[in-house]
Structure 1
């Protein structure tokens, strides 16, 4: 059975003590597939991995360059990258009644949902769609996939402490990632790409 991953993954959850940004996504996907195999009794081959993210230019060039360093590792692993953007949003502070500007990641949800629907329309064989996300905004797209292509089974791999019933109820099954899953799936430092110079893990994030 084939599997296609779409990933909108938070690798940094400071309040829960999880900080593994040098994450090996390919190894993590293989790890998740191995956990799901028991439900099917057959080998699950990872065919495609899509990674949806955005560069935080508002946090400065250093933050963006660190992120791009990681993306180069993923591209070397043939992970398909989709880059969105952050957009300014003016909100009112409840404490001081002043307007403050915050930035929100935009277009990522739409890009992910669009990719899911395109893959569903083009898939002929029985296939697993495995989403590493906890974003409930994706529920309408998942409902549509069930109607569009019954050959697709949807699994949710919830990031650490992001399990929710909305996504769980529209999926064939789900698992929740643990701290150990992040820790055991880290890229080597330095990462040696197939071409070019070694890529070193940033000293600071």
Structure 2
């Protein structure tokens, strides 16, 4: 039996699920999902890459509950790797000047941009290939920024099979992923791999409930 490590691009998966299915599959059991799509492999671990939400308190609270539930449900299998969001001021597309509203005093508009997730995924992928950490690498993402890291990983360990598990909304990978296998994550897999509605931490006794909006 082959071994597998999964590298999950949290926001690539999140936005794919949101665009296709709304909120209903956010309470996702990542370890169960990997086992379902790679039933012939023995799971070594899931590396889950995300960043704390900024600027949306309710969404940040839901995300925090989810991360705690993941840690409680699969403590030996799921490792969460946190990146960051950086503030980004919006600018006019014509003059490139800052956008402001009509309030008095005017308020400068800003958004938040996720930083370094693709770099973090790439670094772990290459590191694990150098260490011969698993026979198979499963990348849950469709981000073409990962191509250089994939190519480096293949040079380090040519025998390690690399597959892309494409999030909803990505029917086929970019042509730049021509050296890896791929398949789509379908709705039936997402539906079947939800965490229990209530997840209890066996150590602390804390209980984490699926957010009401995530139904």
TM (norm. structure 1) is 0.86
Contact 1:136 1:166 in 2 (8 A): no
What does residue 84 of structure 2 align with?
85
Is the counterpart of residue 47 in structure 1 residue 44 in structure 2?
A: yes
1:21 pairs with 2:26:
yes
Specify whether residues 95 and 201 from structure 1 end up closer, same or farther in structure 2 by C-alpha distance, changes over 3 A only.
farther
* Superposition deviation, residue 178 in structure 1: 1.4
Where 1:188 maps in the other structure, the secondary structure is coil
Deviation at 1:69, TM superposition (A): 1.0
Q: Name which of structure 1's ranges 15-24 and 108-117 shifts more when overlaid on structure 2.
A: 15-24
**For this pair of structures, how many residues does the alignment match?**
194
Q: Which residue number in structure 2 is paired with residue 185 of structure 1? A: 193
TM-fit CA distance, 1:104: 0.9
Report deviation, 1:98.
4.9
Secondary structure class of the residue paired with 2:142: coil
Q: Give the structure 2 partner of residue 11 of structure 1.
A: 14
CA distance in 2, matches of 1:130, 1:15: 22
Separation (CA, whole Å) in 2 of partners of 1:32 and 1:15:
21
Q: Who is 2:154 aligned against?
A: 146
Q: CA deviation at 1:50?
A: 0.4
SS of alignment partner, residue 191 of structure 1: strand
Q: Which has the higher contact order (CA 8 A, sep 6+)?
A: 2
What runs of 5+ residues in structure 1 fail to find an aligned partner? 35-42
Q: Offset at 1:33?
A: 0.6
Runs of 4+ in structure 1 off by over 4 angstroms are 95-98
- Which structure has the greater CA radius of gyration? 2
What is the distance in 2 between the residues matched to 1:26 and 1:115?
Answer: 18
Runs of 5+ consecutive residues of structure 2 not aligned to the other structure: 100-109
Indicate the residue corresponding to 1:68 in structure 2.
64
RMSD, aligned CA? 2.0
